[in-house]
Structure 1
Amino acid sequence: MPIIARALLSAALLVLGLGAGPAPAAGKIRVVATTTDLKALTEAVGGKLVDVDALARGNQNPHDLEVRPSLMVKVRRADLLIVNGLELDQWAEVVVQGANNPNVIPGARGRVEASSGVPLLEVPQTRVDRSMGDVHPVGNPHYTADPGTVGVVTANILAGLARVAPEQRGIFERNREEFLARLDRALAGWSAEMAPFKGARIVVDHNMWPYFLARFGLVQAGSIEERPGIPPTPAHLTRLIASMKADKVRLILTVPWGDQKLAARIAQETGARVVVAASAVGAVKGAEGYLETIDYNVKSIAQAMK
Structure 2
Amino acid sequence: MLSVLRIVRACVLLAGLLTVSAHGADKIRVVTTTTDLKALTEAVGGGLVEVDALARGNQNPHDLEVRPSLMVKVRRADVLVLNGLELDQWADVVVQGANNPKVIPGAPGRVDASAGILVLEVPKTRVDRSMGDVHPVGNPHYSLDPGLAPAVTANILDGLVRVAPEYRAMFERNRTEFLGRVEQALRGWSATLAPFKGAPVVVYHTQWAYLLTRFGLTQVGTIEERPGIPPTPGHLAKLIQLMKEDKVQVVIVEPWSDYKLAERIAQEGGARALLLATGVGAVKGAETYLDAIDYNVKTLAQALR
Answer yes or no: same fold by TM over 0.5.
Answer: yes
Q: 1:219-230 to 2 correspondence within 5 Å?
A: 219-230=218-229
Tell me the equivalent position of 1:144.
143
- Aligned equivalents of 1:199 and 1:300: distance in 2? 17
Deviation at 1:182, TM superposition (A): 0.4
- Aligned equivalents of 2:190 and 2:267: distance in 1? 30
> Quick check: 2:24–2:48 contact (8 Å CA) kept in 1?
no
Tell me the equivalent position of 1:33.
32
Tell me the equivalent position of 2:216.
217
Say which SS state the counterpart of residue 120 (structure 2) adopts: coil
Deviation at 1:126, TM superposition (A): 1.3
Letter of the 2:27 counterpart: K
Instruction: List alignment gaps of at least 5 residues for structure 2.
Output: 1-22
Letter of the 2:267 counterpart: Q
Tell me the equivalent position of 1:5.
none
Tell me the equivalent position of 1:290.
289
Tell me the equivalent position of 2:5.
none
- Aligned equivalents of 1:280 and 1:78: distance in 2? 22
Tell me the TM-score normalised to structure 1 length.
0.91
Say which SS state the counterpart of residue 62 (structure 2) adopts: helix
- Aligned equivalents of 1:243 and 1:122: distance in 2? 22
CA RMSD of aligned residues (A): 0.9
Say which SS state the counterpart of residue 63 (structure 1) adopts: coil
Deviation at 1:259, TM superposition (A): 0.3
Tell me the equivalent position of 2:266.
267
Tell me the TM-score normalised to structure 2 length.
0.92
- Aligned equivalents of 2:291 and 2:29: distance in 1? 24
Tell me the equivalent position of 2:54.
55
Letter of the 2:290 counterpart: L
Say which SS state the counterpart of residue 300 (structure 1) adopts: helix
- Aligned equivalents of 1:41 and 1:186: distance in 2? 15
- Aligned equivalents of 2:81 and 2:34: distance in 1? 9
Letter of the 1:247 counterpart: D
Q: Does 1:79 align with 2:71?
A: no
Tell me the equivalent position of 1:162.
161
Q: Which moved more, 1:116-125 or 1:170-179?
A: 116-125
Deviation at 1:61, TM superposition (A): 0.6
Tell me the equivalent position of 1:94.
93
Q: Which moved more, 1:117-126 or 1:188-197?
A: 117-126
Tell me the equivalent position of 1:8.
none
Say which SS state the counterpart of residue 31 (structure 2) adopts: strand
Tell me the equivalent position of 1:128.
127
> Quick check: 2:115–2:155 contact (8 Å CA) kept in 1?
yes
Structure 1 segments of 4+ aligned residues over 3 angstroms from their partners: none
C-alpha deviations, 1:117-151, integer Å up to 9, x for none?
01111111211111111111111000011011110
Tell me the equivalent position of 2:112.
113
Letter of the 1:135 counterpart: V
Q: Does 1:65 align with 2:64?
A: yes
C-alpha deviations, 1:75-100, integer Å up to 9, x for none?
00000000001110000000000000
Identity of aligned residues (%): 73
Letter of the 1:136 counterpart: H
C-alpha deviations, 1:224-279, integer Å up to 9, x for none?
00011111011111110111111110000111111000011112212201110000
Deviation at 1:25, TM superposition (A): 5.1
Tell me the equivalent position of 2:187.
188
Say which SS state the counterpart of residue 193 (structure 2) adopts: helix
C-alpha deviations, 1:272-295, integer Å up to 9, x for none?
011100001000010011111000
- Aligned equivalents of 1:134 and 1:38: distance in 2? 23
- Aligned equivalents of 1:124 and 1:274: distance in 2? 28
Letter of the 2:157 counterpart: L
- Aligned equivalents of 2:24 and 2:91: distance in 1? 25
Say which SS state the counterpart of residue 273 (structure 2) adopts: strand
Say which SS state the counterpart of residue 206 (structure 1) adopts: coil
- Aligned equivalents of 2:67 and 2:193: distance in 1? 40
Q: Which structure has the larger Rg over C-alpha atoms? A: 2
- Aligned equivalents of 1:210 and 1:106: distance in 2? 29
> Quick check: 2:196–2:217 contact (8 Å CA) kept in 1?
yes
